Structures are given as structure tokens and as C-alpha cells.
Amino acid sequence: MDVGGGRRGDGCRATTHRFYTSLENVYDVRQQSRASTVIRSTVAVVRERHVTADAAGLAYYAFNSLVPLLVLAYAALTTFGTVPALAHALELVTGVSAGEFEGVISQLGGSGAGRIRAVTLALVISVWSTHRMFRAVDSIFAEVYGVRRERSTTRGFLDSTLVLVTVTVGVAVMAGLGVALAVRVSGLLWLGLGPVVLWLSLAVVFVPMYYVLSGPDVSVAEIAPGAAFAASVWTVSLLVFRLYLTTSETVELYGIAGAVLLVLTWLYVGSFALLVGVVLNAVRAGRVDVDEAWVPGETDA
């Protein structure tokens, strides 16, 4: 038996194993360093471009767009006599009693000439707020990517509609699944599957907006991380929102006012996540210059 040859073979295998292990360690360190650099650079750009202030403006215009849409939805639903169903759905999402919502919704819609005036005013406010919301989103894309594009009236209308549809459908998806979670709260399978379905749905909803507004030479793979990040924050925010509603007495105490405050807060968090997603994509793709003075730890230490 060649004992020496066997030992040499074992030694070679051990050396090879150590070599590949060291390569894996180097790769892991580089990946961690890369992730850390991306995170810190994203934070730096967010701080430098005052994204938090832009998110507040976006949340305001989103709220101004969604409330008129609620009035329009009421006008459509009254045709089929389903206002109680709408009020019940809002109760499940916000925690405010359905009776209180029915009274407010009825006052918003009125009847006859009052309803026509309400619908007309809702359309005007919705169009104006949608335009302002688009300008807020587009300015962030243009500032981060450094691209100023001239748009035709038709293209501007289509892009504005895309932003409105993105936010509206995103909120509708969250509200719909929020109702489902509230109704099926005892189903353990749904509790585990619901957040996954919500995340996938939101990611699909967000991808078109990121793809269209980021510029002409971006790929889906480049904008996917930002869409995934925004979808993750929206999903977590819904779970926190529902948990807060089930454990806090604030909504019951303040009624509609408390619900409005919660919705505005949630819209701010959601708007901030959407805008951070823009910055994250640009940083990962190297499309934005990072000022080292804004990087956490560089000047704060």
C-alpha cells in the first residue's frame, strides 16, 4: 500500500478545500462590502436631495388624488346601492365604524344637483393633484438620474396617468388584501401566504413606473431592486398598520380624524419608500454621483 501517496492525496485535497474556502470568504467579504457601500451611498443621496421633503409633498398630492376618487367611487356605487358594502370595507381597513363612514360618504355625495357638483369638484381636484403628484415623482427621477426630458402633451398625460394608476392600484391592492386579512385573520395559511401575495402584487404594480420614468436606456433588471424595496416597505407597513388598528384605541377615540391622520402617515411612508427605490436603483447602476460629505460616518464620526 502506498501510504505516502495516500497522505499526499489527502494533503492536496485539504489544500484545495482551504483554497476554495478562502475564495468563498473573500467573495462574502466583498459582497458585504458592496452591500454596505450601496446602502451608505443611498442614504447619502437621500440626505443630499432632501427626499424626505419630497415624500411629504408626494403624500399630500396622493391624498388629494385618492379622496376625490373615493367620491367618484361613491357616485358610481350609489347606482347599484352598495354604499353599505363600501363603508364596511373601509371599516375593515381603517377600524372606524361603518355607520360613521356611511354618514360622511352620504354627505360627500349628496343627491341630485349636489351630487353633480361634488363629482365635478372631485374631478377637478383629482386632475390637478394627479398632475402635481406626477411632477413631484418625475422631478426626483430627473434629479437623481440627471435627465431632463421634453414631453409632448400626450406623453405627459400618459406618464401622469401611469403615476396615478401606480399609486391608486397599489393602495387598492393593499386595501383589498387588508380586508381579506381582517376577514380571514384566523386562517394561519392565509396569514403566511397573504404578505407574499401582497409583495408580489405590489412589485408588479411598481415596475412599469420605475421602468418608464428612469430613462430610455434602463433595463428591467436595473429597476427591479427599487421596485422590490418599495413593495417590501409597503407590505410591512400594511402589517404594522393592521397591528396598530387592532391594539390601539386612537382610531376609536378620534374617529374619522384619527383615520385621516393614519392614512396620511402611511402615505408618507409609502411615498418615501417609492422615492428611496429611485435612489437605490440609480446608486446600484452608478448613474448618480455621491457626495462623500453626505455619506453616514464620513463626517458624523
Q: What is the per-residue pLDDT across 70-113, written as a single tens digit (0 to 9) for each?
A: 777 766 666 665 656 666 666 655 555 555 555 555 655 555 56
What is the C-alpha separation between 243 and 263, in angstroms, rounded?
A: 14
Shortest CA distance to 43 belongs to which of 227, 294, 285?
A: 294
CB within 8 Å of 282: residues ≥ 6 apart: 45, 144, 145, 214, 288
Q: Is the Cβ–Cβ distance between 67 and 146 less than 8 Å?
A: no
In the chain, alpha helices (H): 3-48, 51-77, 83-94, 98-109, 113-145, 153-183, 188-213, 220-247, 250-284
pLDDT band for position 160 (cuts 50, 70, 90): confident
Length of the chain counted residue by residue? 301
Buried b vs exposed e over 10-29: b needs ≥16 C-beta within 10 Å? eeeeeeeeeeeeeeeeeeee
Q: Would you give the DSSP letter of residue 293?
A: G
Q: What confidence tens digit (pLDDT) does each residue in 185-243 have?
A: 555 666 677 788 888 888 888 998 898 888 778 899 999 999 999 999 998 988 888 77
Q: Is the Cβ–Cβ distance between 19 and 273 less than 8 Å?
A: no
Residue 215 Ramachandran class (φ > 0 left, ψ -120 to 50 alpha, else beta): left
For residue 110, give the C-alpha cell.
349628496
